[in-house]
Amino acid sequence: MTTPDLLTAALAALPVLLTAAVLLAGRGSLLAASVATPAAAVLALWRFRPEAETARSSFLDYAPVLAEVLLILLFGMVLAQLLQASGAMRRIGDWLLASSPSLGAGTALVVLGIVPFAESVTGFGIGVTVGVPLLAHMGHGIVRAAVLGLCGLVMVPWGALAPGTTVAASLTGLDLTELGIATAGVNVVPLVVVAAVTAALSHVSGAGRQRSERQHSGRALLATLGWTALAAVVLGGGVLAANIVLGTPPAGVLGSGAVICVLLVLFRLRGTRAAADAALGRALLPYGVLTAGLLLAQLVTRGLAEALPAWLAHGLAAPPLWLAIGAGTAFVLMHRAQAAPAVTDPPAQALRRGLRAWLPVGTATGLFMLMGWVMTVSGMSAAIGTALAGLGPGAAPVLSAVGGVLTGSNTGANAMFASTTAVLAESADASVLVLVAAGNAAASISTLAAPSRVAMAAALAASAQDAASAQEAPGDAARRERAVLLRALAVVAVAVAGLAALAAGL
């Protein structure tokens, strides 16, 4: 492969550098995408000049992926707003907390079960908004609750039914299911790191309340390690099995759902009891409709693959359809119960809030995806990958991690760097599938250190502990957020270093 001259490589990297500059200046992903995408288009037409017919054919293949991702984001955000405004999330969380026999067990349930489940269903960091208040309510301090909640984003490759992984597969020409399986394999590295951090922080919180009981603390450490290891094994194994059997989009839902079910059954066998009532059933119904509908559609379309037209089979099993049905179910339930004390807003207002929240997120994501397509079809990504080939395949996860931190989204990071990663793999004669999977995992785990998510987690943890936050000086909030960011970056650094070492060995 011919090495591009320095000017060509620099021009190819300019859209990425513009994105980084705008984001580092604190101006937000929407402005970054609005600046970088037109710049990529101008550079492509001026310097790289893709063939018109090739670009047209490529866009016709890519446009359905673009539309599907934007619809997943739309209905996912609407569903999240409806569940929050109806009080459904709090009802589910309270019940799960009442079911936990100890701090370590409850923490494992939240970090490796509840947060990944909420993130797999709705995405956009919604798992953090569910998990952090629960962790603070359990007794973790503000910083620890925020860091633990962020660690629950370990299954972001399957967040919001996997649009980020879908983008990576589309831009690199890989099969989505094969990429999902490969990502589940390499994602063991971040999962082990997150499990170790979860166990350590859980034990520190528990020991802090019972310092004089050393024997109890020793037993508590072993119990915490046991619960966390069990949850991590079930999560990793469940996601891998679901990818193999049912495909990538529902894998995160099923893997994290398996963690919740297994731990709750074991909690009950240990004598812990939590009352389930009709309100809990109503709160769970939208999730149930979404999960059951998606799985049933997958099974039906596979069984009738030869009898159904391709467009109908794809439409029936499409994640946006079932997210829309789940959101519709939540809207109907909320409308019927809008006089209940748990409901904080009218359903129409929650719906409008979801639409308003989607506009900047959807616009930025769509623009980043278009930028990724332009850079791929024009050869700009290939130029960057070839220029970086001398660094070896180990550079790919690091590059993807930078994208994850900057954009706070594996969809945005994959749109920018998945094609570059594929070129790096080809230049190093390494497996494209495994290296793109490693980049996908690195981009995903790095989103927990994105400044916007760190700020959100720290604020949520503080608001869940009103008494503590009310006594803070004005500078305490900034110091607390910085402490969360440094710890999140440390988690990301260890996980990405492991992925880079794995990639370097290809």
- pLDDT by residue (tens digit) across 208-253? 554 444 445 667 788 889 999 999 999 999 999 999 998 999 899 9
> What's the predicted TM-score (pTM) here?
0.80
**Residue whose tokens read 């109907």:** 332
Going from the C-alpha of 169 to that of each of 271, 294, 414, the distances in angstroms are: 46, 21, 9
What is the CB-side half-sphere exposure of residue 157 using CA atoms within 13 A? Answer: 36
Contact of 176 with 169, CB cutoff 8 Å: yes
Q: Which of 193-207, 231-245, 349-363, 454-468 is most confident? A: 231-245
| pLDDT greater than 90 at residue 416 | no
Residue owning tokens 């569940």 = 83
Domain assignment present for residue 295? The answer is no
Question: Mind listing the pLDDT tens digit for each residue in 380-397?
Answer: 888 888 888 888 899 999
56 in a domain, yes or no? no
| pLDDT digits 0-9 by tens, 115-140 | 999 888 877 677 887 788 788 878 78
Q: How many CB atoms lie within 10 A of CB 12?
A: 27
Q: Determine the Cα–Cα distance for residues 93 and 378; give it in Å rounded to an integer.
A: 48
pLDDT at residue 215, as a whole number: 42
H/E segment holding residue 112: none
User: What is the distance, to the nearest Å, from the Cα of residue 199 to the centroid of all Cα atoms in its chain?
Assistant: 21
C-alpha 473/C-alpha 428 separation (Å) is 53
170: helix, strand or coil: helix
Residue 496 Cα distances to 78, 131, 189, 207, 438, angstroms: 32, 23, 8, 30, 9
Asked if the structure places residue 375 within a domain, the reply is yes
In the chain, % of residues over pLDDT 70: 93
How far lies 62's CA from each of 68, 206, 453, in Å? 10, 50, 29
What range does the domain containing 259 cover?
6-49+85-276+347-504
- Which structure tokens are listed for 481? 């957020």
* Any domain includes 286: no
Cα torsion angle, 426, 427, 428, 429, sign: positive
Mean pLDDT of the chain: 85
Q: pLDDT tens-digit profile of 468-493?
A: 444 444 457 778 878 888 899 999 99
User: Could you identify the residue written with the tokens 């469940």?
Assistant: 238
For 76, residues 6+ apart whose C-beta sits below 8 A from its C-beta are 121, 122, 123, 124, 126, 160, 161, 323
Asked if residue 417 belongs to a domain, the reply is yes
Residue 339: predicted pLDDT: 66
Q: How many domains does the chain have?
A: 1
Is 283 part of a structural domain of the chain?
no
**Does residue 91 sit within a domain?**
yes
340 within domain boundaries: no
Highest mean pLDDT: which range of 227-236, 307-316, 450-459: 227-236
